A and B are shown apart, each in its own frame.
Chain A
Amino acid sequence: MIKTPHDLQTYRKDLKGALRNQFLGKTLDTFATAYPTSRANAFAGIDFDTLACEIAKGKDESIPKLESLLEEFTAHAREAGAVVHFARTAFEANSIIASIAGENGVKKIVKGKSMTAEETFLNAHLEREGYEVTETDLGEWIIQLRGEGPSHMVLPAIHLSRKDVADLFTKVTGEPRDPDDINGMVKVARRELRRKFIEADMGISGANFAIASSGTIGLVTNEGNGRLVTTMPRVHVALVGVDKLVPNLRSALRILTALPRNATGQVISTYVTWITGATECKTADNGRKQMHIVFLDNGRLALSKDPLFSQALRCIRCGACANVCPIYKLVGGHNYGHVYIGAIGLVMTYFYHGRENARAIVKNCLNCQSCRKVCPAGIDLPGLIKEVHGTILKVEGKKPIRNVLLQKVLPNRRLFHSLLRQARIAQKPVADGGFIRHLPMLFSGNHGFRRLPAIARVPLRDMWDRINPRVDNPKYRVALFGGCLVDFVYPEQAAALLRIARKRAVQFEYPLGQTCCGLPAQMMGEKQTARAVAVQNLSALDPADFDYIVTLCASCGSHLKENYSRLLKGEGALAVKVAQLEAKVIDFSSFATRVLGVAPEEFQRAGQKVAYHAPCHLCRGMGVSREPRELLDTAGLQYVRSGDEEVCCGFGGSFSIDFPEISAELLRRKLDNAEATGAGVLVTDCPGCVLQLRGGMERRGGRMQVKHIAEVVAEQRKS
């Protein structure tokens, strides 16, 4: 039975347990390392982003028409001799299938892999009604024998070691099994399951596609059990989510181009089977199979009508959003979803399996954007996760204290800033070497794994006029969007930017009405607050006044560029302003290389070796990855690549307060990788990452320095 914790305390306990599981950690790590390469090879010669756009577009065209596609499918399938059923709920689907079994005098059932059947807990239902049900996909069979749910949508038993499987098979067959003889164990399954195929009266499959124009279902498998389940028994039932309906073969083939490549790095799965109607079956009464297709709604049609959440139905169940998720990699699927696993699991659990099951897990997202980048259907997974999180907070009305504070303080800039100033005074007695343990308001909790920085003596806004000279006849005007961390914690990063731009006839401005970008509010599920500060920032920074709006913070930058338009959608002139703002927002590295056009002559040569951490919100959020590396090179620094350079550092704003153990583990791996390069400095271009990385480096007593890229580049300038 699947048990998903309903509260954060229990969930954290489970997570700690998972972090201690060394086999899991190692195996998922190897997988996460191997996956990007095999995926890239499989996609060689195909433009992934274009394909993802096409899939999304195709799905978006069919989702509003699911009901008419269903009608079309039904007509064709019936003509070909199939019986089509429609189940509004999981229970209805299970009951329909049980009665088909009953009417046909079925005793034994073989099943192909179907996430939809997992969703409805079909096996449990059928077993209660007295049927013998055997899963035939090897991974599914293994977890069925263990009484577990899948830990991955494509690789259901990835959490188990060869020894676990050997022990299990020893029990099942009564003969000892050698864990290192994997081939031998696979042959046990071949032998045992072949018998089941032959004896079964009914086969149950899922479907990857339901093609409306011909009434065809498409099944994608590697083992071939799909073909046997649909061939050997005299009755075949396919349980299909209505979201699997596609208009025609072309749409199905387009999805098929992406599915195996993205799932397992194969150009195609071994067996793709297209079945239309009641095909030949010599043990059936009239020589033709009893073919039933049960379409499942279970909330899908409601989803299909929502302007935001309908995109979740684009999912083609490739499992890639788990493969690339840094949290999945640490804790595995049993701790990262309910039935559906990974980013899409965090979203779907709420809709298919309820708020209680979603409540704790939906908080466990770093907003690192990795899942979104890899999704072949272009689903904004992190965005949907936050929406669900916010909705749960709202309907439960039990907000954590920091949400209540944030809601009160953040929309009032003066109050917020004066609290930050007071925090500096309050921290004084415990400040040591620039680091303190607590930083009220911005952060809370006691985090042994990293030291937190002190609030700056003089915030950027107070020193701005002093460090920012007026320029006669400037070529262009640039606004700096500071964000809380640059303004109140790391003003030196802004000073570095000004030094680099000196003598270039650029007039910088720091509009004082600007405040927190609002991302922390969005991350905590506080959309209203996020909206309120977005409006404030938009009035402080009128895009018409500037040629560029530079950020030193990738998180602020990507939030301004992407989320503001969503927060202010449909708000007339403001929405237009947002679009204008988006066009002018630029990250520091792109600004330095492309706008300022810094050149090697300006910098000292033979600089030191540096490693780089690519902030999630820069490399994925803003799609910037070449410029920072180029800039390091221009500045005469020797950039050395480190392992997992684009994997999240574990900061994730308030994430690290809720899940300190995960944050700490991601940080540890990040620092290990950086140290392994032998470089003296770890460079990044987001003050949030600086906070996390520097705090961690200090805590472990590492010898590497951690710096914002603006700082190292400024230091390299010839005097």
Chain B
Amino acid sequence: MEQPQSLVLMKQRAEAVQTVVSEVRNMREAFDYCVELAKKEGLQSIAAPGLGKNASALGTICKKNGLNFLTKNLREHIGRIGTGFTVANWGIAETATLVIDSGSEDLRIATMLGEIHVAALPRSRIVADAAALEEELTRMMKTTPSYLSFISGASRTADIERVLTIGVHGPQQLHMLIMEEELL
């Protein structure tokens, strides 16, 4: 199947900001990816607040693989968060941006204070540019209080001699899993 233009652009732009892009069929594959990655990187836990009814499935896989599964009160676990797993609301191809409703404190902690951030993004939720989301975002901002995040790549700095260095405050890796199926 030919890939729509915005998907091609998304992948290309993501690469430019060191975001690792993979395609998965469904949540189940996304969970497997997340768990395999955590094991490969030697991490002990996965934090996934806000997964709703999907949480138990991920919890089961974590358990099977000997990983701690965290879903709430993440402040208490700071320093012990390996991977933060989230589902993005939107993707913006032009800038390889994940748009994530981050109203929940736990979600913010999971996406900022873990070593790795893995975000699943349903393919149907990719738009060409931010302008295409203007109405939607305005609506989200007006549903208050609201904390909306654009995340485009892993945390970075160039403050020492302009040398690009990844992972200053936030995650050291960002993985974007483009998902074929809609969320169930």
A interface, CB within 8 angstroms of B: 27, 30-31, 79-81, 136-139, 142, 155-158, 160-162, 165, 182-183, 185-187, 189-190, 193-194, 197-198, 211, 213-216, 222-225, 227-228, 230-231, 248-250, 253, 256-257, 264, 266-283, 288
Contact = CB atoms under 8 A, between A and B. Distances in A.
A214 B141 contact: yes
Interface of B: 13, 16-17, 73, 75, 78, 94-95, 97, 102-105, 108-109, 112-113, 130-131, 134, 137-138, 141-142, 144-163, 165, 167-170
Contact of B103 (A81, A139, A227, A279): A279
Nearest to A215: B144
Contact of A27 (B94, B103, B161): B161
A186 B137 CA distance: 34
A274 B108 contact: no
Instruction: Please give me the 5 A-B residue pairs with the lowest Cβ-Cβ distance, nearest first.
Output: A224-B170, A80-B144, A139-B159, A277-B145, A272-B150
Nearest to A187: B167
Contacts of A274: 137, 141, 146-150
B158 A264 contact: yes
B168 A189 contact: yes
B98 to A, nearest CB: 11
21 contacts: A27-B161, A80-B144, A81-B145, A138-B160, A142-B159, A213-B138, A214-B138, A214-B142, A222-B156, A227-B112, A227-B149, A228-B112, A267-B94, A271-B149, A271-B152, A271-B155, A274-B148, A277-B146, A278-B145, A279-B147, A283-B75
A249 B169 contact: no
A340 B144 CA distance: 35
B72 to A, nearest CB: 10
Nearest to A34: B162
Contact of B145 (A272, A280, A283): A280
A248 to B, nearest CB: 7
A138 to B, nearest CB: 4
B159 A231 contact: no
Contact of A275 (B73, B146, B155, B160): B146
B78 A276 contact: no
Residue picked from B134, B144, B165, most chain A C-beta under 10 Å: B144
B21 to A, nearest CB: 16
B157 A183 contact: no
Contacts of B148: 273-275
Contacts of A257: 130
A257 B144 CA distance: 25
A165 B104 CA distance: 36
B41 to A, nearest CB: 16
Given A137-B159, A222-B157, A253 B138 contact: no
A96 B137 CA distance: 32
A270 B169 contact: no
Contacts, number: 175
Nearest to B108: A231
B105 A281 contact: yes
Given A224-B155, A270-B152, A185 B160 contact: yes
Contact of B162 (A31, A79, A80, A270): A31
Contacts of B138: 213-214, 248-249
Contacts of B75: 282-283
A440 B87 CA distance: 74
A160 B163 CA distance: 12
Contacts of A225: 168-169
Given A249-B138, A279-B146, A280-B145, A268 B112 contact: no
Contacts of A277: 144-146
Given A157-B160, A249-B137, A186 B168 contact: yes
Contacts of A187: 167
B168 A190 contact: yes
Given A136-B169, A158-B162, A182-B165, 19 more contacts: A80-B144, A187-B167, A190-B168, A197-B169, A198-B78, A214-B138, A216-B146, A227-B108, A231-B112, A257-B130, A268-B152, A270-B17, A270-B151, A272-B149, A272-B152, A273-B147, A279-B105, A280-B105, A280-B147
Residue picked from A80, A215, A253, A268, most chain B C-beta under 10 Å: A268
A250 B134 CA distance: 7
Contact of A279 (B113, B145, B165): B145
A248 B73 CA distance: 35
Contact of B161 (A156, A162, A211, A278): A162
B165 A280 contact: no
A142 B97 CA distance: 29
B144 A271 contact: no
A177 to B, nearest CB: 11
Contacts of A31: 162
Given A190-B168, A225-B169, A277-B144, A138 B149 contact: no
A328 B169 CA distance: 30
B112 A138 contact: no
A268 B146 CA distance: 22
B19 to A, nearest CB: 10
Contact of A165 (B102, B156, B160): B160
B115 to A, nearest CB: 11
Nearest to B159: A139
A155 B150 contact: no
A138 B159 contact: yes
A270 B147 contact: no
Contact of A253 (B104, B134, B165, B170): B134
Contact of B141 (A81, A157, A276, A278): A276
B169 A228 contact: yes
A213 B152 CA distance: 26
A216 B151 contact: no
A508 to B, nearest CB: 52
B107 to A, nearest CB: 9
A273 B162 contact: no
Nearest to A163: B161
A190 B144 contact: no
A223 B170 contact: yes
